[in-house]
Amino acid sequence: MTETAVGSKSEQAYAAVKARIVEGTYTPGYRLVLAKIAEDLGVSVVPVREAIRRLEAEGLVKFERNVGATVSGIDPTEYLYTMQTLSIIEGAATALSAPLIGAVDIARARAVNAEMRDCLEHFDPVRFTALNQDFHSVLFEHCPNPHILDLVHRGWNRLASIRASTFRFVPGRAQESVKEHEALLQLIESNADADTIEQAARRHRSATLDAYLAQSKAGSVSAH
Amino acid sequence: MTETAVGSKSEQAYAAVKARIVEGTYTPGYRLVLAKIAEDLGVSVVPVREAIRRLEAEGLVKFERNVGATVSGIDPTEYLYTMQTLSIIEGAATALSAPLIGAVDIARARAVNAEMRDCLEHFDPVRFTALNQDFHSVLFEHCPNPHILDLVHRGWNRLASIRASTFRFVPGRAQESVKEHEALLQLIESNADADTIEQAARRHRSATLDAYLAQSKAGSVSAH
DNA sequence: GTCATAGTTATCGTATACGATTTCGTACTC
DNA sequence: GAGTACGAAATCGTATACGATAACTATGAC
């Protein structure tokens, strides 16, 4: 009865493949062969097909008819697009959540942000990124509009699959990020109006994107 | 060779079911039975399954394990959520498109808007809604971010499946809408900054939503 | 008369099998 | 030696078949 909770085989396959993509076992460009995955998971190809199509809908994999599926996210412009979209969606989600964020949530977010500050010293980019997600989760999880919330989750998923850690590439950005987090919390605490919060949350992410772009231009990503 | 373009059976099934939902053959709440659809289309259930799952990912249908799929959109709050999400996404898409909108596009949009104005007299809500989509398409189709553009399309699809025509329910809104369109065009022509355009586009849709809510509250939709 | 329970039916979930398409390698020709 | 055409292998796409699950119905007891 312990396996009742896992749901259908399709569900298992979906979770399994997604996990492998996010954790990096399947790197971008990796060729996903239905039969092989099916064998690995001990299921038939049909549920795997469904799982792949679901992942395609989320943008985690690219699927070509009669050819097969590959893990997407190779394209650096893809990162740009995702970040821009997320800046808009997350900004809106945070603004909509703000009135529903209580003192305990603020405290929790502040605790996470403190951990992030500590993290700066030893500089563990993976851990820093995980904490970053925790922090923002507190801010947008109260969003009353389930569609928007869903879009935010999809955005984070895509980012996770593209890069385990943004901050590995833009180390200088981490310090500013922590400061902006505190500013954001103060805005929410002081019941700032929705527009102000939305703008702040959006710029917070845009700034990370800009930092990444500046870094890329500087030459470290000279290859097209 | 004429059928090569239609693609796979899954594709056909997807298009067929989607069309039936949008055109209203399958109304919200309609029970989608795999076997029946498969028979109607002359294919097996497997491609139909895939089609249904794709539609689920788009939010057009709701799917419950071991129970089946139903056309979603029954819930009036669903309409609210979709409109709110679309106001944000469409606002952003329009703002991002603005710099890329040329004089010919403006002229085309203005022509569509003129048709809408004519439409007000005979008041054909279905036609009015179709023109409305045409108008906004001109404004956001140049959006350079494909993800955002995709989200806008999904939003319109959902709306189409929920209601063939919003304006049937909020007739008073149509006139204002036409005026706001013209204002929006002038903003774009005068190269207004992105924030201004985004706010205007967003409010344009929010206003329709507000009008709908006021109407609903007034009692015409007393049945739950 | 109402509630609970067992049996039936409808529908979904998955496995297996085979046909269709693409891709890659090899041989042949220019 | 380079290019093209043919063929084989790999992989996807779909049909069919059967097992699993949940909704419905009828029957019985209280």
pLDDT digit string (tens) for A24-48? Answer: 888 888 999 999 999 999 999 999 9
Residue of A49, A54, A88 lying closest to B57 (CB–CB): A54
User: Model confidence at B121, in pLDDT bands (50, 70, 90)?
Assistant: confident
The predicted model scores a pTM of 0.88
Residue that wins the pLDDT comparison between A93 and A215: A93
Residue where the block lists tokens 């922590």: A178
* B203 touches A at CB < 8 Å: no
Predicted pLDDT of residue A29: 87
pLDDT beyond 70 at A1: no
Cβ atoms of A12 and A43 closer than 8 Å: yes
Residue A224 pLDDT level (bands cut at 50, 70, 90): very low
pLDDT-derived band at B217, boundaries 50, 70, 90 = low
Residue A60 to residues A132, A215, B95, Cα–Cα distance (Å): 21, 25, 27
Top-confidence range, A114-128, A176-190, B3-17, B124-138: A176-190
CB count within 10 Å of CB A196 equals 13
Q: For residue B32, which of B63, B62, B70 has the smallest C-alpha distance?
A: B70
- pLDDT at position A4 is 42
- The verdict on A34 touching B (C-beta cutoff 8 Å) is no
- Point out the residue among B53, B54, B81 whose CB comes nearest to the CB of A145: B81
Do the bridges between strand A61-64 and strand A68-71 make them parallel or antiparallel, or are there none, so unpaired?
A: antiparallel
Among A162-176, B110-124, B139-153, the range scoring the smallest mean pLDDT is: A162-176
Residue B3: pLDDT band with limits 50, 70, 90: very low
